[in-house]
Amino acid sequence: MALDRETRDQLIQTLRRYVTERLRPLEAQVAEQDLAPPEVVEEMKALGLFGLSIPEEYGGFDLSVEDEALVSFEMGRTSPAFRSIYGTNVGIGSQGLVMFGTPAQKARYLPGIASGERIISFALTEPEAGSDSANVQTRAIRDGDHYVLNGTKRYITNADRANLFTVMARSDPEKKGASGVSAFIVSRDLPGVSVGPPERKMGQQGAHICDVVFDDVRVPVEDRLGQEGEGFKIAMQVLDRGRITIAAICVGVAERLVADCVAYASERKQFGQAIANFQLVQAMIADSKTESLAARALTLEAARRCDAGEDVTLEAAAAKLFASEMVGRVADRAVQIFGGAGYVADYGIERFYRDVRIFRIYEGTSQIQQVVIARETLKRGG
């Protein structure tokens, strides 16, 4: 549902204030402690962030993809770890349920997801199924009115906080590829589900990724999403929408960094004047500004087409590819403009430089986006 202009502006203003006054001062602390304060999680619940994309009848805001992108532009203007707190609940964790769940499944799970009482993660990736996600080895073998799940999922965002997982597993071991995969909603408290410790990683401290292991986990048949064999397509459609959101976060981070560069370059003096006066510094600011505007336009175009019900596989991949590569270049220029201060930890710029690196990898690497874009372009004939 698209918000009316006034409500949308109010929401954006509220979030802008929250990011500026509340989240930005906490960035260094969250990175150091690798933990978001519990009171911030509670505030995000109160703001309704966990239910942005969940239908109103289940307690969410039911935002259009475009409005959600506008929210992500704002939430992108701080450490990406903050957005991760609710990210899987509004994004890849919940969207399979929203798009393909039965009314009974939605009624059972979505209200808790929208309120933030339940945390849901998306469990597709495995040790041997990263880019080649149709190669999932986790088994889901039918046994009466249950499926028995066995296997390991890897790098699962929010897994340590999750009490639900959207899991893609092979229900037909005879079929090697995508058509043998089904999707399930799996509760963390089922016997046989275990979660590994958070990985130590390059950036985005405060957002955790872990292994999730299924050892003879009996999942009731009524918790299968869609029909048997539809799990891969469900995952791909979830990722199409997720990629638009990742692009939007990249735009938000880029806008933040451009603003930080302008502020720093206006204050920092060399050769007797502010370095913002130097055209070689201006060139870096101009390139970053231009590219972030281009990514913003591309992201909004993909979001609007998605809202119009169009197939946006190509547009979502293009937005994600361009925006994630763009924010990498913007962060690199930010380090350059800040010079020595960009390299030391106190200014936070090197932290963003590390934080943004994952955008080119998760929810499909840049190379996978290129594959998707090329395939779709060839299919569409141009």
Interface positions with ligand COS (CB under 6 A) = 124-125, 131, 133-134, 178-179, 232-233, 236-237, 239-240, 313, 362-364, 368, 371-372
Minimum CB distance to ligand COS, residue 281 (Å): 36
| Residue nearer to ligand COS on the CB measure, 78 or 121 | 121
Minimum CB distance to ligand COS, residue 77 (Å): 23
Note the Cα 248 to chain centre separation in Å: 9
HSE-up (13 A, CA, CB side) for residue 63? 25
Minimum CB distance to ligand COS, residue 104 (Å): 24
- 187 - beta bridge partners? 164
Minimum CB distance to ligand COS, residue 360 (Å): 12
DSSP H helices in the chain: 5-17, 27-33, 38-47, 65-75, 80-90, 95-100, 103-115, 231-267, 279-307, 313-338, 340-343, 349-355, 366-380
| Residue nearer to ligand COS on the CB measure, 307 or 363 | 363
Minimum CB distance to ligand COS, residue 365 (Å): 7
DSSP H helices in 18-102: 27-33, 38-47, 65-75, 80-90, 95-100
State the distance between the two ends of the chain, measured CA to CA, in whole angstroms: 31
Q: Helix, strand, coil % (nearest 5) of the chain?
A: 60, 15, 25
Decide if 363 is catalytic: yes
Residue of 239, 367, 244, 378 lying closest to 302 (CA atoms): 244
Minimum CB distance to ligand COS, residue 243 (Å): 8
For residue 112, report the phi and psi dihedrals to the nearest 5 degrees: -70, -30
Annotated catalytic residue within 68, 74, 350, 363? 363
Rg (CA), the chain: 21
Q: How far apart are CA 273 and CA 234, in angstroms?
A: 56
| Residue nearer to ligand COS on the CB measure, 207 or 372 | 372
| Residue nearer to ligand COS on the CB measure, 146 or 233 | 233
> Quick check: 40 and 92 in contact, CB under 8 A?
no
Q: How far apart are CA 237 and CA 241, in angstroms?
A: 7
| Residue nearer to ligand COS on the CB measure, 336 or 370 | 370
| Residue nearer to ligand COS on the CB measure, 284 or 358 | 358
Looking at the annotation, which residues are catalytic? 363
